[in-house]
Amino acid sequence: MSYHFNKIEEKWQKYWAKNQTFKASNTSSKEKFYVLDMFPYPSGAGLHVGHPLGYIASDIYARYKRHKGFNVLHPQGYDSFGLPAEQYAIQTGQHPAVTTEENIKRYREQLDQIGFSFDWSREVRTSDPEYYKWTQWIFLQLFDSWYDNIKDKARPISELVEIFSAEGNRKINAACDEDTNIFSAEEWNDLSSEEKQEQLLKYRLTYLAETEVNWVPELGTVLANDEIVNGVSERGGYPVVRKKMTQWSMRISAYAERLRADLDKIDWSESLKESQRNWIGKSVGAMVEFPILTFPEGEGTLKPKYMTGGNNSKLLLEKAIANRANPTEAEKILWEELKSKSLGHKFRQQHLIDDFIVDFVCLSKKLVIEVDGGYHDNQQEKDFLRTQRLEESGFRVIRFSNEEVVNKTQKVLEKIKKELETVIVPPSGARGISVFTTRPDTIFGVTFMALAPEHELVSQITTPEQKAEVEAYVQASAKRSERERMADVKSITGVFTGAYAEHPFTKEPVPIWIGDYVLAGYGTGAVMAVPCGDQRDYDFAKHFDIPIKNIFQDVDISEEAFTGKDDAVITDSDFLTGLHYKEALPRSIEELEKIGQGKGKTNYRLRDAVFSRQRYWGEPFPIYYKNGQPHPIPEECLPLRLPEVEKYLPTEEGEPPLGRAEKWHWDEENKKVVSIKEGVKPPSGVWGIELNTMPGWAGSSWYFFRYMDVENQERFVSEEAQKYWENVDLYIGGSEHATGHLLYSRFWTKFLYDRGFVTVEEPFKKLINQGMILGQSAFVYRLEGENTFISKNLIGDKSVQPIHADVSLVNFSDELDIEEFKKWRPEFKDAVFVLDNNEVYSSDTPSFGGGRGEANSSPSGRPGGAFVVGREVEKMSKSKYNVVNPDEICKQYGADTLRMYEMFLGPLEQAKPWNTAGITGVHSFLKKLWKLYHTGPEGSFYVNDSPPSEGLGEALKSLHKTIKKVTEDIENFSFNTSVSTFMICVNELTAQKCNSKEILEPLAILIAPYAPHIAEELWEKLGHAESISTATYPVYDEKYLVESKKQYPVSFNGKMRFTMELPLDLSASQIEEAVMGDERTQKQLEGRTPKKVIIVPGKIVNIVG
């Protein structure tokens, strides 16, 4: 009986489905193990042989773990929201749900054919309302949370509200918008509920913000940074432009440090961790504040002065002077104290800042002290406004009442003193330029400042003389797309603003330039340029003839900047002179803090993630807008189902496709979606629902939790189920998700952990990236300008045009089936083909041709030569006609062969080319395996049931060697080598004519994870009623491998010359005696006496002569 793989595979696939063999239980006394694949997006193209590679590896591991007694969760599902289905819908009007359903069906058929041990009862689809209900729910939890930097975790927004109403936000250290103001409890409590919402939105972990986004006009949507590749969209390759839009964002930046630090806790490949680290981009340095100097017209002298706004400054100044002469009692007392410098800082009284006269100010510390009952208006809201404006200008404001000052003077002074000690670097405001630098130690090398063209200060500081030039430059660089800017890294452009900043230490003026080498999106969008220590600054300075100051000791910078740190000694830098980088760095920060113009700071490259997409086929946001403010749709109303639309394009007004949905308003009172006809004003209490949808990564950022408890109606996953399955033990998938899915999933998991919804901080304990399987494209060569094709070996130095030929038209010997090729490309039906023996084949040649790429095709039986194609390894893709379909392979060789061959190709993590020709080796191995169990008459099944271990020495050795190696291989994910091991084992057992059940039964289990169908069939024939997946994995026993002899390699000066069989129990000296006594040794030595003989018993003998 021969090996009918098709019949066997169909039989067992049905059996597994019917018996739910791989259904995992959430209540088991067994230890759990969770093996997960990255779920596929069901595209219309179906699977090619590259797709299942990771699935096969994880399936082998899952099956192995079941044999090892684990309760294994091995689910599969579909990431079924996405752009291609929507694009197809736009073109055809076909509802994305329909095409998605069709594609899923096809995927499922293809997956089923390969014999995976998935628990399909737990299937998830991200586009299923029962699933995205919980995606929306998680969104609402994010909306309902803020990030506390002190406790370093996300907390409910209600706790923030409590703090605000008790003590304002002064003491809060939270991840929030940059334009968040400081307010007191009174100020907070006086806000209207809408104003409160506005403030809270600045703290929520998902928030609305006007952001500069990557807009793709062709797709009519925005994309996240990780969806942009080389300045064009990852899908479709469309150009990307920058555009300001109000979008939902995820405050992932709050988690930057934890996402970075916790990489140390997980077992991922170093390269993947590295790309996440790079993406997060931590840099440690300092913020430095450079005050802006202006040069009042007509004045030649250098006179630093804070800019003042408004035309009434002269009037105000007079008023201030008048005020000074008429202090209140409290002011008088306080001024006496402040004037004396007992606090160590200089204060001014009745000082003009912008349009305000403040009571007292310490300019160097940027601290304003206000005393109630002064000459300014005393209304509370005006105070609030004043505070706000002053804070915008970088000042801190503290207030005291008259009574406090008069009666508790010491307490007031203490408070002022404390306030002076705290260092606050003001945000980049009208007063100065904040820069971030990793090298504050080089601050004395600053010779200019550079701002990004988009920097908000540009228009404010530019002098009239420079205005035209600056504006032209800003406009020109705004026009340049991201791609152009990237492509054009080399050319140096910039323009001088005419303005100067003041060096924090030397107090010298530093010219302020604009240059597009400074990125608006990183740091503060401004840099302190140190040409001697930074190559870009150096190039810029050289190009514009800006002086370069060298502050490095004994370093030549005439050719390029000195960017080294380790051997940098600072010179010519005041208090830093003579210090090494390591000492200079902390010292410089210390000094900056002392003068209140700098502060140590860690910066991250990771930006908040834009979460809105102007698409139809995605999760709707559970948000409606009431008076312009976003409000959550109540949890109990979820899911908020995607409405029907007529067209999937944006509306004429440029609104997302959901703008076309008639039924897309929220009735607040009745808590339901209601229909409002276009152009009709909604009645009161009915509000518009968010028109954007969520991005593709929303649903995939938490699906691994849903598998644990897929039917749960009450929660996204029950506490018990999550506690039992914890997180994914083994995750296998492509490395292309390094900075997208894998980062977002970690972010959401940490968030869910913070809020107590799950018990784990990381989603994936171990992660393996499978390498890409590449295609072997086939090329035919057409003579330039002629309709003649020539066989590859005739090319020589002829000029030819290579044309892709479909790989299915080529046989294993790289010969093309010419007739089929002509059918496939009718435009070549009259072409002439010159074969490798120079014979000419044209349409009137009697019928012949190469094979059809089938294993049993024959190149003979036809006249003359063959037409040979060229081969090249390329990415497998439809457009290159090099796609190999797994269905075909399954049909022709079987799923077990496909599974083993994919593993046999090479190391899992490595990219490797697919070559169908090689599959015969694995296929004939399975045939040999089958034969091993079918040694009865006419190939019938036969195993010998004789008493254990009788005369099985060699067979037991083969078996246990295999157990040992294969077990190690699976644990190390070295699946390719275990296939070799099986081949060796079967070859040995065949040679031994082994047909003992004692050997063949465990062998079937060993092979079951790799080739489950044939293993099940053999298992059944061996007399078992239950699936082989319930069988216990064989245990390796050392005793069968104990050897008594060893073929010792005998080396001379490290080169192996011959081997010698010696008993293993010999001592080193006995071995030496035996080796020296051998005539081959004497021959090698040619009479010399060896200087030294190295003996490693059980390993080698090396004779040094």
Partner RNA sequence: GCUCGAGUGGCGGAAUUGGUAGACGCGCCGGAUUCAAAAUCCGGUAUUUUCGGAUGUGCGGGUUCGAUUCCCGCCUCGAGUACCA
- 3-state secondary structure (DSSP) of residue 360: strand
Residue 366-405 contact track with RNA, rule CB under 7 A, x = bound: ----------------------------------------
Compare residues 234 and 726 and give the one whose CB is closer to RNA.
Answer: 234
Query: Can residue 992 be called a binding residue for RNA (CB under 7 A)?
Result: no
DSSP line for 716-782? SS-HHHHHHH-SEEEEEE-GGGTTTHHHHHHHHHHHHHHTTS-S-S-SEEEEEEPPPEEEEEEEEEE
DSSP line for 882-895? ----HHHHHHHH-H
- The count of chain residues that interact with RNA, using the rule CB under 7 A, is 89
Between CA 740 and CA 736 the distance in angstroms is: 8
| 912 bridge partner residues | 773
Minimum CB separation of residue 981 from RNA in Å reads: 8
Minimum CB separation of residue 554 from RNA in Å reads: 22
Query: Can residue 253 be called a binding residue for RNA (CB under 7 A)?
Result: no
Minimum CB separation of residue 1103 from RNA in Å reads: 8
The C-alpha angle 268, 116, 929, rounded to 5 degrees, equals: 105
Neighbour count for residue 972 (Cβ, 10 Å): 10
The encoded tokens of residue 974 equal 């070295």
Tell which positions 734-753 bind RNA, by CB under 7 A.
Answer: 735-736, 738-739
Tell which positions 414-443 bind RNA, by CB under 7 A.
Answer: 436-439
Minimum CB separation of residue 194 from RNA in Å reads: 35
Query: Can residue 722 be called a binding residue for RNA (CB under 7 A)?
Result: no
Minimum CB separation of residue 879 from RNA in Å reads: 16
Answer for which of 19, 28, 312, 1059 binds RNA (CB under 7 A) is 1059
* Among the listed residues 977, 918, 983, the one whose alpha carbon sits nearest the alpha carbon of residue 773: 918
Query: Can residue 301 be called a binding residue for RNA (CB under 7 A)?
Result: no
- Please enumerate in sequence order all residues whose Cβ is within 8 A of that of 407, keeping only pairs 6 or more positions apart, or say none: none
Query: Can residue 993 be called a binding residue for RNA (CB under 7 A)?
Result: no
Compare residues 789 and 925 and give the one whose CB is closer to RNA.
Answer: 925
- Please enumerate in sequence order all residues whose Cβ is within 8 A of that of 155, keeping only pairs 6 or more positions apart, or say none: 145, 146, 147, 148, 754, 755
Compare residues 655 and 1043 and give the one whose CB is closer to RNA.
Answer: 1043
Compare residues 238 and 522 and give the one whose CB is closer to RNA.
Answer: 522
Q: Which helix (H) or strand (E) holds 293?
A: strand 282-293
Query: Can residue 605 be called a binding residue for RNA (CB under 7 A)?
Result: yes
Between CA 401 and CA 386 the distance in angstroms is: 16
Query: Can residue 1056 be called a binding residue for RNA (CB under 7 A)?
Result: yes
Residue 259-298 contact track with RNA, rule CB under 7 A, x = bound: -----------xx--xx--xx-x-x-x-------------
Compare residues 1054 and 1063 and give the one whose CB is closer to RNA.
Answer: 1054
Tell which positions 756-815 bind RNA, by CB under 7 A.
Answer: 812-813
Compare residues 172 and 869 and give the one whose CB is closer to RNA.
Answer: 869
CB 997 within 8 A of CB 945: yes
Answer for which of 375, 1051, 1085, 1097 binds RNA (CB under 7 A) is 1051
| 651 bridge partner residues | none
Residue 452-471 contact track with RNA, rule CB under 7 A, x = bound: x-------------------
Query: Can residue 563 be called a binding residue for RNA (CB under 7 A)?
Result: no
Residue 905-944 contact track with RNA, rule CB under 7 A, x = bound: xxx--xxxx-x-xx-xxx-xx-xx----------------
Compare residues 489 and 1025 and give the one whose CB is closer to RNA.
Answer: 489
Compare residues 345 and 927 and give the one whose CB is closer to RNA.
Answer: 927
How far is CA 881 from each of CA 620, 621, 777, 855, rounded to the nearest angstrom?
Answer: 38, 41, 7, 20
Query: Can residue 1094 be called a binding residue for RNA (CB under 7 A)?
Result: yes
Answer for which of 43, 294, 651, 974 binds RNA (CB under 7 A) is 974
The encoded tokens of residue 290 equal 């450079």
Minimum CB separation of residue 700 from RNA in Å reads: 17
DSSP line for 419-461? HHHS--PPPS-TTEEEEEES-GGGGGG--EEEE-TT-TTHHHH
Between CA 678 and CA 163 the distance in angstroms is: 43
Query: Can residue 410 be called a binding residue for RNA (CB under 7 A)?
Result: no
Minimum CB separation of residue 521 from RNA in Å reads: 7
Q: Give how far the C-alpha of residue 119 lies from the chain's centroid of Cα atoms, to the nearest Å.
A: 28
Between CA 758 and CA 901 the distance in angstroms is: 40
Minimum CB separation of residue 1075 from RNA in Å reads: 13
Query: Can residue 1096 be called a binding residue for RNA (CB under 7 A)?
Result: yes
Minimum CB separation of residue 527 from RNA in Å reads: 4
- Please enumerate in sequence order all residues whose Cβ is within 8 A of that of 171, keeping only pairs 6 or more positions apart, or say none: 163
Minimum CB separation of residue 911 from RNA in Å reads: 6
Residue 629's identity, in one-letter code, is Q
The encoded tokens of residue 1092 equal 């030294």
Cis peptide before 531 (omega within 30 of 0): no
Tell which positions 514-543 bind RNA, by CB under 7 A.
Answer: 516-519, 521-523, 525, 527-528, 530, 534, 536
Residue 689's identity, in one-letter code, is I
Minimum CB separation of residue 491 from RNA in Å reads: 8
Query: Can residue 597 be called a binding residue for RNA (CB under 7 A)?
Result: no
Minimum CB separation of residue 580 from RNA in Å reads: 18
Answer for which of 167, 421, 488, 655 binds RNA (CB under 7 A) is 488
How far is CA 1059 from each of CA 84, 274, 1047, 1073, rounded to the nearest angstrom?
Answer: 64, 47, 6, 15
- 3-state secondary structure (DSSP) of residue 1024: coil
Minimum CB separation of residue 592 from RNA in Å reads: 14
Minimum CB separation of residue 415 from RNA in Å reads: 36
Compare residues 337 and 482 and give the one whose CB is closer to RNA.
Answer: 482
Answer for which of 27, 340, 856, 1044 binds RNA (CB under 7 A) is 856
Minimum CB separation of residue 455 from RNA in Å reads: 9
Query: Can residue 1053 be called a binding residue for RNA (CB under 7 A)?
Result: yes
Between CA 310 and CA 306 the distance in angstroms is: 13
Answer for which of 69, 634, 951, 1054 binds RNA (CB under 7 A) is 1054
Query: Can residue 156 be called a binding residue for RNA (CB under 7 A)?
Result: no
Between CA 639 and CA 646 the distance in angstroms is: 22
Answer for which of 307, 406, 832, 855 binds RNA (CB under 7 A) is 855
Answer for which of 45, 166, 229, 468 binds RNA (CB under 7 A) is 229
CB 276 within 8 A of CB 259: yes
Of the candidate spans 411-419, 710-718, 855-863, 888-896, the one that interacts with RNA by CB under 7 A turns out to be 855-863
Between CA 373 and CA 368 the distance in angstroms is: 16
- Please enumerate in sequence order all residues whose Cβ is within 8 A of that of 404, keeping only pairs 6 or more positions apart, or say none: 411, 412
